Structure 1
Amino acid sequence: MMLIEDLSVGYRETPVLRGIDLKIEAGEILVLVGGSGCGKSTVLRTLAGLHRPSGGTISLDGQPIARTSAERALVFQEDGLLPWRSVRRNVELPLAIRGVSKSSRRSQALSWIERVGLGGYADHLPRELSGGMRQRVQLARTLASGPRVILADEPFGALDAQTRRAMQLLLVDVWSQQPTTIVFVTHDVDEAVFLGDRVAVLGGKPTGIRSIVDVPFPRGDGDNSAARAEILAALGSTQ
């Protein structure tokens, strides 16, 4: 469980976030939405330990978060794959850094490559893959590292609509097999209600939480028009 209490962050004495309070349960997918430049990515980077808060505290299972850690993995729009390494060797990378034996990291990498639907592509280079396939590799690499929390910063934002939905379905499927706490940033309200257990709407200057919306249906299921309308209303109130 991640606990954020009265979190404030600023840059060069300019406040960006103020008074953020959130309790994120283990295995929950919490989605952050808000206008461009409202500080969604700053929240993620602070949770990752890349920014130092100017006030408040963040803890994971009661332990303060003060620096970066492999137990909190950041995922970006840009896949960050190393172009000279094959799919398998990209997925192996965090395991190699941890000192996992060559045979073990190879078998783990191949297993994750299969689970994200890229069986048969283990020896391909990133340049030989589509954008959606590259994001699948990034997801496999992230999950192979065994993080307790995934911090996803609009990872599907650059994909076309069809590929984006396929990646959303893949994330739901992988999560159902291995529930991991996920904090997911998006500007897309439909994506928020499709993926999230709860949606936190950010807004204001400096940014705070304007509303937290519970999504009343299982992710990927049901008519979430009521949750969507509530989020859009909250977004409108932040302008």
Structure 2
Amino acid sequence: MTLRTEHLTVHYGQRTVLSGIDLDVADAEILAVTGPSGCGKSTLLRALAGLLPVSAGRILSAGVPVTGTSAERALVFQDDGLLPWRSVRRNVELPLAIRGVPRARRRAEAESWLDQVGLAGYEDHLPRELSGGMRQRVQLARTLAGSPRVILADEPFGALDAQTRTAMQRLLVEVWRKRPTTVVFVTHDVDEALFLADRVAVLTRDGRLAKIVGSSSPRTAEPAAAAERAEVLDGLVAA
């Protein structure tokens, strides 16, 4: 397993946000996490990233306890987080520069990733010159350039219009097929969860794991099976 949580519990002060979460995420699996607002989805991602202390239980990454952040686990946010003063290329180069990759090599790698996300020709643009969908493509390219073992995505397409959101979902699938990576993807959208993910974890309002629903045909053009969609929705209602 790439990631495992064992009885994971997280408190904010006196409030319990996550309670007793037992979850396994396999190598190269896409796991979607959904649930009502305030159920702890983003808290779960931040705990997996090592950004939040665990109140009880533990998190394992490749069998090793998570005690802090690591370049092997990359967070992707709804806000693209691009540095406005750096060009598109230099934004993508950032994780490579942090690792000390020589300039010529990181430039070539950045341009390769930009080509894969459909942004060849935009290398010298600044983030403000791009649309929201294009900026999310840059964020994806930058994340992948860092070669993470796990991508932790917190509703990265939530602020995009429907057409752009669909295009980004398809792009993520296309890139994932070329380079399968473990992904934990938080979303409010049941159809997005069932399209992208091998399995969907449904959290309850009080931060517990209600159920895990398997998707019989993830990442295909076929609509989600009615029974699978109904099972996720039933879990949300019960939450």
Shorter-chain TM-score tier: over 0.9
Q: Secondary structure at the match of 1:21?
A: strand
**TM-score, normalised by the number of residues in structure 1:** 0.98
1:61 paired to 2:56: no
Retained in 1: the 8 A contact 2:92–2:138? Answer: yes
Q: Distance in 1 between matches of 2:117 and 2:223?
A: 27
What secondary structure does 2:185 align onto?
strand
> Counterparts in 2 of 1:1-239, with a 5 A limit?
1-205=2-206, 207-224=207-224, 225-238=226-239
Q: CA deviation at 1:223?
A: 3.1
Q: CA deviation at 1:228?
A: 1.1
Answer whether contact 2:35 2:205 (CA < 8 A) is retained: no
Normalising by structure 2, report the TM-score: 0.98
Gaps of 5+ in 2: none
State the aligned residue count: 237
Contact 1:201/1:212 (<8 A) preserved: yes
Q: Is the 8 A contact 1:153 1:186 kept in 2?
A: yes
1:124-172 Cα shifts (integer Å, max 9, x gaps): 0101100000000000000000000000000000000000000000000
Residue type of the alignment partner of 1:217: S
CA contact (8 A) 2:194 2:218 kept: no
Give the CA deviation at 1:218: 3.3
Q: CA offset at residue 194 of structure 1?
A: 0.8
Query: What CA deviation, in whole Å up to 9, does each residue of 1:23-63 have, x standing for no partner?
Result: 10000000000001110000000000010110001111111
Once the two structures are overlaid, the 10-residue window that deviates more, 224-233 or 140-149, is: 224-233
Give the residue type in structure 2 aligned to 1:218.
P
Q: Report the AA paired with residue 9 of structure 2.
A: S
Moved segments of 4+, more than 6 Å: none
Q: CA deviation at 1:204?
A: 3.5
